[in-house]
Amino acid sequence: MITTKILIGYAIYLPIVLFLTLFVSKTLFKNGRIYMLDIFNGREEIALATNKLFETGFYLLNIGYALLILELHVTSNSYQVLIEKLSSKIGGFAIYLGIMLFINLFLFLKGKKKSAQNRRQAIANSK
């Protein structure tokens, strides 16, 4: 019976973490496109390619981590214990995704700042 509860836990956990990863990724990289275009001075082809590479890396890193922490230890036959374990596991993953989101935003902003600095430098050099 405990094995059944663990399988139920996996059946709940996997779709939720995959959905969270897809949702955060689509939101981040849809809006990150604007930053990439600015960073690459409107060169759309390289901006979109770079954004797609970041998105692919984001998927690999986060889905890989979700699978890495997949293990559920349910020692009781209680659904309460299963729900508590799942909430802890999914909550921890959501916090991790939030941190990854802010790291990516930081990188976008850092790239935007560097791009603006390079443009100012180019203007100063051309005078």
pLDDT in tens, 80-108: 989 999 999 999 999 999 999 999 889 88
Is 127 a residue whose pLDDT tops 80?
no
Distance (Å) of CA 7 to CA 38, 56, 97: 46, 29, 24
Quickly state the pLDDT bin for 74 (edges 50, 70, 90): confident
Rounded distance, CA 6 to CA 4, Å? 5
Q: What pTM value is reported for the model? A: 0.83
pLDDT digits (tens, 9 = 90+) for 4-55: 888 999 999 999 999 999 999 999 999 988 888 888 888 999 999 999 999 9
32 contacts 108 by C-beta, under 8 angstroms: yes
Secondary structure (DSSP) of 13-63: HHHHHHHHHHHHHHHHHHHHHHHHHHHTTT-HHHHHHHHHHHHHHHHHHHH
